[in-house]
Chains A and B, each alone.
Chain A
Amino acid sequence: MLNVSGLACSRGERRLFSDVSFSLAAGEWLHVQGENGSGKTSLMRLLVGLSPADAGLIRWRDEPTPSAEFRRDLIYLGHHAAVKEDLTPLENLRLASALDGIALDERASMAALIRLGLRGREELPVRVLSAGQKRRVLLARLLTRPAVLWVLDEAFNALDVAAVKLLGELIAEHLSAGGMAVLTSHQPLPVPGGKALVL
């Protein structure tokens, strides 16, 4: 469903990577590996359509991206917290869904927060939560926002052991339900199978 061919990217004068090609089918995931500065994040941003590629083609369901369908099927979580510090976790989830045009009821968002171990924190402003907990608020979006393709950039950073295990489970569930994922990290990931791409 996701076909990437001949992707190239440079930052300023430096060529980060060229001729990156891969494809993903339902239930598959890709582990993008590489040293610091090898262009993992750049590849992710290119893939989701935030920045333009120097060369190459990305196709989603045989349509060149970014198509409306691609946007609907995609969820991208990057380095940023992407949550509002002044709002509570519950408000963050609800507002993010509203912006995406997705109805989200109280129960579903509460269930997502509880699954991510934020019970009792749902009415506190995000500002008072720890870095790891903020990250969990963001990850709750994986449960509240239906998407086929998960693009997660360094999603395992700042998470404790329990959260790493939990995220691994979430991804595995997503894959077994026919989803796809593209993940970056330097360390081995607690998700079975998967293709590897070294930059």
Chain B
Amino acid sequence: MNQSIIQWFKFGSPQAFYPLAGRMIPWFWAAAAAFGIAGLWISFFVAPTDAQQGEGYRIIFVHVPASWMSMFIYLVMAFWAGLGLALNTRLSGMMAQSLAPTGALMAALSLWTGALWGKPMWGAWWVWDARLTSELILFFLYLGFMALQAAIDDPRRADKAGAILALVGVVNIPIIYFSVKWWNTLHQGSTINLTKAPSMAHTMLWGMLLMALCFWMYSIAVALTRVRAIILERERHTDWVKHAVE
């Protein structure tokens, strides 16, 4: 077997991953801060005021990256879950479990900022826009995943059951997204599209990308912090944890 693959398998054990994650976390926090400062600077001071929407549009610098991350994190979570089911590695389940709250947070943030944006733009906190509705369903899927994991006492069983749910969810997400979009066009309730800001300037795109990177780094940092806590909790009876905590 290839040397690098063996190296990866070594980090697949919680004991080896715990200190590695500990070393990586500060770097991801630093990157999140750097991207965040640059992104916020562009979004508040560089990006021009929108001709139609005024200053209020600036919330998309949070809204759009949060929506992207909420979808991306579900995919990553399902990937770890599937890996855990296929290879029976303990760490994969822990990774999936640690990602779920961050994904749910991103979905909630996306819904919240969507509502905040919607009020001045369309005069309503909530419109049944296809993307907002899909985001809401995604939020429910995250809640279901977390509730299932919390309800099962045995962590290995919780991991496996959660993995099946995540995989079922990932198969369903495109179907749900497509059906909601179809439903939306059929009913023609709102024709306003949240993310298609008219004539998006280059600086806006840069701001959004930087904010997306910031959210990405933040998500990795908190997921790693959470996975370290999960490792300690699940392996508390082992000798290495007793040494590590001392």
In the complex they form, do A and B come into direct contact, defined as C-beta atoms under 8 angstroms apart? yes
A residues apposed to B, CB below 8 Å: 12-13
B-side interface residues, number (CB < 8 Å): 3
* A15 (CB) vs chain B CBs: closest residue: B237
Residues of B within 8 A of A12 (CB): 154
A12 to B237, CA, bound (A): 10
A63 to B9, CA, bound (A): 28
Shortest CB-to-CB span from A57 to chain B, Å, is: 16
Would you call the interface of chain A mostly helix, strand, loop, or mixed? loop
Shortest CB-to-CB span from B237 to chain A, Å, is: 4
Residues of A within 8 A of B236 (CB): 13
A16 to B154, CA, bound (A): 16
Would you call the interface of chain B mostly helix, strand, loop, or mixed? loop
Shortest CB-to-CB span from B181 to chain A, Å, is: 42
B residues apposed to A, CB below 8 Å: 154, 236-237
Shortest CB-to-CB span from B195 to chain A, Å, is: 46
Residues of A within 8 A of B237 (CB): 13
* B154 (CB) vs chain A CBs: closest residue: A12
Cross-chain pairs A/B with CB under 8 angstroms, 3 sampled: A12-B154, A13-B236, A13-B237
A13 to B238, CA, bound (A): 9
A12 to B156, CA, bound (A): 9
* B88 (CB) vs chain A CBs: closest residue: A52
A188 to B154, CA, bound (A): 34
Shortest CB-to-CB span from B154 to chain A, Å, is: 7
Residues of A within 8 A of B154 (CB): 12
* A14 (CB) vs chain B CBs: closest residue: B237
* B234 (CB) vs chain A CBs: closest residue: A13
Shortest CB-to-CB span from A41 to chain B, Å, is: 16
* B236 (CB) vs chain A CBs: closest residue: A13
A22 to B133, CA, bound (A): 59
Shortest CB-to-CB span from B70 to chain A, Å, is: 34
By Cβ-Cβ distance, the 3 closest A-B pairs, closest first, are: A13-B237, A12-B154, A13-B236
A12 to B153, CA, bound (A): 9
Residues of B within 8 A of A13 (CB): 236-237
